[in-house]
Amino acid sequence: MNKPAQHLRLMAGSTIGSVVEWYDFFVFATCAVLVFDKAFFPTADRYTGILLGLGTFAAGFLARPFGGAIFGLLGDRLGRKDTLVWSLMLMGSATFAMGLLPTYAQAGLLAPALLVLLRLLQGIAVGGEATGAILIVAETVPARTRGFWTSFPMTGAAFANLLATASIGLIQVWFGSTAFSEWAWRIPFLLSAVLVGLGLWMRRSLIEPPAFEALRKQQSVARNPLSESLRQWKAPMIQTLLLKAAENVVLYLFTTFFLVLVTQHLGLSRAWGLTALFWGSAIEIPIILLAAHASDVVGRRPVTAIGLLGALGAAVALFSLQPNTAYQTLMAMTVLALTCHGIALGGMSAWFTELFPARVRFSALSTSYQVASVIGGSVAPLVGTFLLDRTGTPMAVAMYAAAMIAPALLVCLICAETKGALLDATEHEPQELDSNQGRQLTSSVSA
């Protein structure tokens, strides 16, 4: 596809599914902090209840590598398009069912057990969605604009956070905080059915990217893509893991743990926290697109490094806020934090896809991507809440963020640039590479 209209259709089909899946994920994350301690763990004290709620949130991350392996195999063997449809259906079904769950008061221990089961299904679904949506775009668009186009699926998380915070905030305003805690929390989960229907309708127009079709015609599809990835592509898998783990820690500290910070440490209202997240997420969307375009111009490494360094500074600023801080200050720090996260995220999707060949790309990227989510995103809210409870200061959380960001900055420093690299021999277009850049894809693997 070379025409802008075709690219826009491709972008819309891949992004809408990402928005749906991440909406489901963030609704769960928000309710884990605000509601689940009372609905599913009422016998625990306040902090323990929140930790248990965040524990169910983390359970979904533990399932994501399995989802990455399963959908990676399907994506590399059968195709990208159908894999994205199946992952979307699984996520939608699990999320809708959450809206129908009994509470602890109604079913005892069966209630949290069912919650964990459905959360595991969510994690498996995201394991296939997160990378599949990137690949179907990256393997189709021109190399010179790959960063920009592949950033659209990455905006799905920011759009989803926008939808999740808006829907939960409006429901609390409409029904009141008491009703929300008792029963109205179910509404955002049930509304996901509408979004899933829209996502499936949009994705039916997608086609397999030329890179994968060429492999299928040549009968070069990998028999065991994960095994082949682990044997031959360990270095770029580790590179992807370190970068994604740092980005994931930053994301979930600035979103999920942020609500714990606001309500438990700063002593501010849920509404303030949700409103700040809403506007921070809204501003992050164009930031991701601008950063992605910048990565097409100056490279993936500098843009990612600037974003990670900025995120570290933003973490120090956000987590140094004192109780009863002014709303304007909270808003400014939230916008700053998510802006820096957006810069770090902008060029990552293109960078990751440029590290692997088509025959193992889905499996290699999904596996490293999702293992990173376990190391980073799954435990970040838990670690943040634990450190806050034990130390009494959020600055301990900023130190944790620094420890996770440092290895990713080292990757940015020592690994080769991949901007403009051809993904496969099926790509034919005028290149902007000099003789040194032409060897970037190979050198990045051995770095």
Which of the residues in the chain have pLDDT under 50? 1-2, 425-447
- Is the CB of residue 133 less than 8 Å from the CB of residue 245? no
pLDDT given for residue 153 in this prediction? 84
pLDDT given for residue 345 in this prediction? 94
What is the distance, to the nearest Å, from the Cα of residue 32 to the centroid of all Cα atoms in its chain?
Answer: 17
**Domains of the chain, each with CATH number or no CATH:** 4-446 (1.20.1250.20)
pLDDT given for residue 382 in this prediction? 85
pLDDT given for residue 7 in this prediction? 63
pLDDT given for residue 3 in this prediction? 59
Q: Which long-range contacts (CB under 8 A, 24 or more apart) does 85-89 make?
A: 85/200, 85/203, 85/204, 86/128, 87/17, 87/21, 87/125, 87/126, 87/127, 87/128, 87/129, 87/132, 88/17, 88/20, 88/21, 88/125, 88/129, 88/196, 88/199, 88/200, 88/203, 89/196, 89/200
- Is the CB of residue 281 less than 8 Å from the CB of residue 166? no
Task: Give me the helices (H) in 45-107, please.
Answer: 46-77, 80-98, 104-107
Find the angle CA(40)-CA(46)-CA(47) to the nearest 5 degrees. Answer: 105
Q: Compute how many other C-beta atoms are within 10 angstroms of the C-beta atom of residue 293.
A: 18
Rounded Cα distance, 273 and 382, in Å: 18
* Dihedral (CA of 212, 1, 18, 239) sign: positive
Average pLDDT, the chain: 82
pLDDT given for residue 214 in this prediction? 66
pLDDT in tens, 131-155: 777 887 887 888 888 999 888 888 8
